[in-house]
Chains A and B, each alone.
Chain A
């Protein structure tokens, strides 16, 4: 009898717990918590846009605490991120919002921060192994990036041709995940069967290296039709290189780019189509997530749903790309072409 009762009680608890998860959590504003927004490094437009979004959310939630936007200088990215993460833990910050550029090397510092009570929320680029991370705010589904890139390739090449990828660094976890997902997409559907991915090269996210790599690709594959670059630096440098050498008629450029940097290449036909998401929204959503976790209103468990202000409801789910890790999926993409790029560039 006792067992039955216990069982019933347990069942009831489970049900109520399920109900609690099914309810959308409205974050209570005005709680004080200090937070740090930590980009890969300072001085890059998209990270500043993310900061604008986070500041907007900070005001909206009326957090009396401080939101600090701080990051390493470009030449010191990895070591600088680890140092700032360590400091944030000892300062008992409520949360660190991290766009990870240090791979799994950041794990010990992130775990130490978590142990000190600081939540670690990643955005833009996660911790590859998922250790030391509370949750990852994914800009778009990493799997769908592959499909979007494959579709752009299909469009631009007119269904048939050779394509090469110009990535950032060989160990950038988000880049590698996107390239893999594009390969999967290309193999999955017979409509892509005439598109051949001939090479993947790396431009280290530097203009001059990317520029030279793009030209080397053209020399290596004389019948190349498209350079796909899933990085804002690479796509811009490739487009410039093709334009400078008068190759735009033969070799098109596509990938992930910033409208303000790509507008002229889209208008002159060097880069007819490319895609990106909104970094302001990403910063805004990341702030809501981190605020919820740091103030204890979110537990960071799979199935929790909460309202992120103007952006609507989001749910914490298992990350399909990283076993054991959790993510919140923002989405969707905006695909830019000559019809909408100039408006977005302003």
Chain B
């Protein structure tokens, strides 16, 4: 009985999300023959590895009451730039290559951050503009060439699918494991580190945060820079997984990352949420998408609509569940007194 009262609202939120995930899995397992197996786990985990990073960056930005619509373009540019470097210098050290992707992303993120934090332009305007700008840079930079798998070294294309360890038929592949590690590190920082807590402070009440001596501008700037960093790393993963990069790489990721964060319980008005939530949100969106393709009941033309409805339903169920759990916790606490 004491368990539920000891859990924080954030933890309850995660439990509610896991419950929704379980419901979805059970539903499709009943509907689709041969659905529930290790392969499903491998599919979802390999695919979510990229979105998990982007959603993590997006969450950091949303926490500060902002939004980053340029993530898709940053992913695309970083993937292409990284691919271009390694194609021309096949012997480049892997760590340097990852670093290059990170630097490219961070540089773009810093431009966003400077414009939002110091030039005081609303983030939706800034990133809507840089979304188009970065994509245009990519079109210029690519010169209509594509990066192709044949130009990439084997270690790079093998990396995402390399099994690190497995439980039964469930493989934890290197791409997914690396992403998961990044998510956990960011989560630990957000919950334990004082400077990282400033993101929540700025998001829930910027004036109060300023009065408490927090440099709100610097925090917002840092959030965008980190979102760029995550997009850069995601670009690296994108390159490794898909091999062929054209100018459409990462198109539409901005909305998917916002959806993942919001489904994952990150408050769109800032101040509350967790990257673990966003991670689970990304899994839920991906799971719904993959399962719907296999579900014969829904035709191709309705799938987008059904996906939208299911995301809404998932958010609603999750909100209701976590509210119930919170209330239950309050009553349990009352009993204990």
Contact = CB atoms under 8 A, between A and B. Distances in A.
Contact of B144 (A43, A220, A240, A260): A43
Contact of B148 (A74, A245, A260): A260
B251 A261 contact: no
Contacts of A252: none
Contacts of B103: none
B191 to A, nearest CB: 31
Contacts of A207: 242, 244-246, 248-249
Contacts of A41: 247
Chain A binding surface SS class: helix
Nearest to B292: A216
Interface in A206-222: 206-208, 211-213, 215-217, 219-220, 222
A201 interface: yes
A211 B238 CA distance: 12
Given A43-B139, A43-B142, A237 B247 contact: no
A43 B39 contact: no
A48 B300 CA distance: 32
Contacts of A344: none
A88 interface: no
Nearest to B296: A220
The 8 closest A-B pairs by CB, nearest first: A43-B247, A48-B144, A216-B293, A43-B139, A207-B242, A220-B294, A264-B150, A74-B248
B331 interface: no
A162 to B, nearest CB: 15
Interface stretch (B91-99, B109-117, B128-136, B321-329): B128-136
A75 B290 contact: no
* Interface size classification for chain A: 35 or more
Interface of A: 41-45, 47-48, 73-76, 170, 200-202, 205-208, 211-213, 215-217, 219-220, 222, 233, 236-237, 240, 244-245, 260-261, 263-264
Contact of A236 (B160, B244, B247, B290): B244
Contact of A212 (B245, B289, B301): B289
B243 A240 contact: yes
Nearest to B253: A208
A346 B43 CA distance: 34
B149 interface: yes
A343 B54 CA distance: 40
Given A200-B300, A201-B300, A207-B249, A75 B144 contact: no
Nearest to A167: B300
B267 interface: no
26 contacts: A41-B247, A42-B139, A42-B247, A43-B142, A43-B247, A44-B144, A45-B144, A45-B146, A47-B144, A73-B135, A75-B131, A76-B132, A201-B293, A206-B251, A207-B245, A208-B47, A211-B241, A212-B293, A215-B43, A216-B43, A216-B290, A217-B293, A233-B248, A240-B242, A245-B161, A264-B149
B248 A206 contact: yes
A219 B149 contact: no
Contacts of B238: 208
Nearest to A215: B43
B230 interface: no
Interface string B63-92: 000000000110000000000000000000
A249 B154 CA distance: 20
